[in-house]
Amino acid sequence: MRDRYDYLIVGAGLSGLVLAERLGSLGRSCLVVERRNHIGGNCHDRKDRNGLFYHVYGPHYFRTNSELVRAYLSRFTKWQDAKYRVNVFTRGTYWSFPVNLGTFRQFSRNPAATEDDFKAYLARSAVPIAAPANSKEAILASVGSELYELFYKGYTEKQWGRPAEALDASVCRRIPIHTGLDERYFRDEFQALPRQGYDPMFQAILEASGADLRLETDHRDVVRLVRHRHLIYSGPLDEYFDCRFGPLPYRTARYALEEIGEAGVPAGGFVQPVLQVNYPGPEAFTRTVELKHVTGQVSRSSNLVREFPAEYRPCESDPNYPIPGPESDSLAARYRELAEREPGVTFIGRLAQYRYLNMDQVVGAALHTFEKLRDAAT
């Protein structure tokens, strides 16, 4: 580590690594500081004892409609096409999800139900709410109370630690509803995973950047010791300002890996019917993921990762999900005002912007930020 860099980058996730690579391509010197013991942030993946991939911090399903983002990442990885399918397990049944005509056929116990039948049911069931004020109202306005109670109510309360009526409408609006037989969870044009896993892709980006890296290091321990022209910060927004206005609310989770030997795997090679199964019932976990469904790996073994949501406690857990709502939005706005006035610092990423962002949005934002930094330096 040198005593002077052009850029000090806090966080070795997607934002930090992409900016390090882009700035490095201009010959700029970068130091990337990461307080975890690995790069890649929450997208970090590994192989279990049987050589099967799993996502350490819960599922990260890459998809995008941006050719710019796809082309950029394709410089560092080849891809494994993926079809992300999700079921909900409740009342002793695996239900097709997100809600679609297949779900309605199960629900109505009518395998011959048509799309028109489903549309008629939604028209009868939807609660007339012109401008939903929260997530509960958003779902009631779309599918009505029966499907809300079956699929959304319990899951939302477990996932976010508060009822749907306490969450911004955007939280549940992200879940699509299809009146046809389309069972895909996402409709993005490109849906795939890095063929060799996320970690090799991140390693390739870091190597191309030429940046220095310090793991298991708090940026506050080096920011005053290492001279730099500009700071790029992708950590929690409130922490940067020492929680001056109080902590921003986040939700976190614990992830439990279960490695399953061939004796525990059915003849078909999979433990559960699809990639992800959601559990809206009394189970302590919200979902299980069997990544082998989409990695292309062939093995008589498998693994499951269970996700147990929990309250976020600073210094005890990692902040995963910003919690959208009136109080948090107001508090975040106050911190963003401070960030806009902070000289020589760029705030970027889900935590630093306190926004729920998909992976492709993070990469796209990093590429756009690079252009602004480049233009400002010329």
Domain limits for position 128:
86-173
- The answer to the question of residue 123 being in a domain is yes
| pLDDT for residue 376 | 83
Residue 331 and residue 216 share a domain: yes
Helix axes 198-209, 14-24, angle to 10 degrees: 30
Question: How many structural domains is the chain composed of?
Answer: 2
Same domain, 364 and 224: yes
pLDDT at site 190: 97
Short-list 315, 288, 318, 291, CA closest to 302: 291
Instruction: Determine if the peptide bond prior to 98 is cis (ω within 30°).
Output: yes
- Could you tell me which of 353, 29, 374, 371 has the C-alpha nearest to residue 213? 29
Same domain for 239 and 329: yes
In a domain, 179, yes or no: no
* Residue 234, domain CATH: 3.40.50.720
- pLDDT by 10-residue block (mean), the chain, 378 residues: 92 98 98 97 97 97 98 98 96 96 97 97 95 94 96 95 91 88 91 98 98 96 92 96 93 96 92 98 97 96 97 81 86 97 96 94 98 86
Is 362 found in the same domain as 232? yes
Do 340 and 239 reside in the same domain of the chain?
Answer: yes
**HEC readout, 267-331:** CCCCCCCCCEEECCCCCCCCEEECCHHHHCCCCCCEEEEEEEEEECCCCCCCCCEECCCHHHHHH
**What are the beta bridge partners of residue 9?**
32, 232
The answer on 101 and 39 residing in a single domain is: no
**Parallel, antiparallel, or unpaired: how do β-strands 276-278 and 287-289 relate?**
antiparallel
β 276-278/86-90 pair status: parallel
Report CA-CA distances (Å) from 162 to 30, 97, 355: 41, 22, 18
| Measured distance CA(378)–CA(376) in Å, rounded | 6
User: In whole angstroms, what is the distance from residue 217 CA to residue 32 CA?
Assistant: 10
pLDDT at 378: 66
Q: In this predicted model, what pLDDT tens digit does every residue of 141-189 receive, in sequence order?
A: 999 999 999 999 999 999 999 999 999 898 888 888 999 998 888 989 9
> Which positions ≥6 away from 364 have C-beta within 8 Å?
66, 68, 69
CA distance 141 to 235: 36
Same domain, yes or no: 69 and 93? no
Query: Which among 222, 207, 225, 223 has a CA at the least distance from the CA of 24?
Result: 207
Q: In this structure, are strands 53-55 and 4-10 parallel, antiparallel, or unpaired?
A: unpaired
* Nearest-angstrom CA–CA distance, 165 and 167: 6
CA nearest to 324, candidates 288, 357, 362: 357
My answer on whether 42 and 99 are in the same domain is no
